[in-house]
Amino acid sequence: MLSRKNRLLLLKALSLVSIVRGYNILVIALAQYLASIYILSPDLPLRQVVLDVNLFLIVLSSAMVIAAGYIINSFYDSEKDLINKPRKSMLDRLVPQRTKIQAYFVLNFASVLTASYVSFRAAFFFAAYIFGIWIYSHRLKRIPFLGNLVSATLAIAPFFAVFVYYKNFETVIFVHALFLFLLIWSREMIKDMENLTGDLAQGYQTVAVRYGTTFTKGCVTFLILAALIPAYLLVRYFEVGYMYLYFIACSLLLLLFLVLMWRARFKSHYVWLHNILKFVIVSGVFGILLIDVDLVLDRLL
């Protein structure tokens, strides 16, 4: 049996993992590697990509900045989260606010230092990324439309870092990025409806607070229908291997999502809608493997 002190340390460790959302960071890191292998550098040997020290440092820097971003977001949203996510908030509060701030600065400093080993431009990029996350958490997230747009942009920034590193400017990459961006933007607006009670109580002027859920649903409908366009283009005009199955399946799921969204009334409904979009996004990460199922074996030889 664990002693009381050890149980408390374990709970604090779980609290820290909850705050930085370690599972999200692992998925993003995996997505960066898969995108590098299958989309950004398909002609390079697999070993050269996987063992690329600079790529590893970029992914590591991304992970640290994202973890720091979750920490500062938790710091600013602590009161709102007590209303919207009471159970998670109570777990998160096991880590003192002072410790959160200390971890925030350590992670950000370590990220820029790590990126500096790649290049000055990489260090500058992550410094700008850190500032963008802070200004979003401090001010921009309370502004309707702009907050959602900036949040979606920050979410795809780690992929932009890898994209710039490989200097691959093919059209297919931008179409993939547009599809992902529109899905993330939609998810951010669903979260506004999911967190409506806390946002109202804390004076957050989100789209759902200022214009109502019906208008917000109309915006999400537009974004989802817009996301179907790059999905169609990727299937029709680009070589995506068996990943066309993913785009067809997720397009059908997104149409079902719209039907469910317009019938949604309660927070539990919006939580389900949020999870559907998260599933589409995460499954897209593993769907990258379908671009060429023989690619890994061929490049290992």
**Structure confidence at residue 83 (pLDDT):** 72
Contact 129, 115 (CB under 8 A): no
**Structure confidence at residue 8 (pLDDT):** 63
Rg, C-alpha atoms of the chain: 20
The CA distance from 239 to 256, in Å, is 27
The CATH superfamily assigned to 10-168 is: UbiA prenyltransferase (1.10.357.140)
Angle, helix 53-76 to helix 120-138, in steps of 10 degrees: 20
pLDDT per residue rounded down to tens, the chain (301 residues) = 556 666 666 666 677 777 777 788 999 999 999 888 888 887 788 788 888 999 999 999 999 999 999 888 877 776 776 677 766 666 666 677 787 888 899 999 999 999 999 999 999 999 999 999 999 988 888 888 898 999 999 999 998 888 888 887 788 889 999 999 999 999 999 999 998 888 787 777 889 989 999 999 999 999 999 999 999 999 998 888 889 999 999 999 999 999 999 999 998 899 999 999 999 999 998 888 887 666 555 544 4
SS3 at position 114: helix
Q: Which residues touch 114 (CB under 8 Å, ≥6 apart)?
A: 57, 60, 61, 64
**Structure confidence at residue 99 (pLDDT):** 79
Helix, strand, coil in percent for the chain, rounding step 5: 85, 0, 15
Domain 170-301 -> CATH class: mainly alpha
Distances (CA, A) of 169 to 9, 142, 164, 209: 47, 34, 9, 39
Listed in order, the ranges of the chain carrying CATH 1.10.357.140 are 10-168
Between the two ends of the chain, the Cα-to-Cα distance in Å is 50
Neighbours of 273 (CB within 10 A): 23
**Structure confidence at residue 301 (pLDDT):** 47
> What's the pTM value of the predicted model, to 2 decimals?
0.88
Listed in order, the ranges of the chain carrying CATH 1.20.120 are 170-301
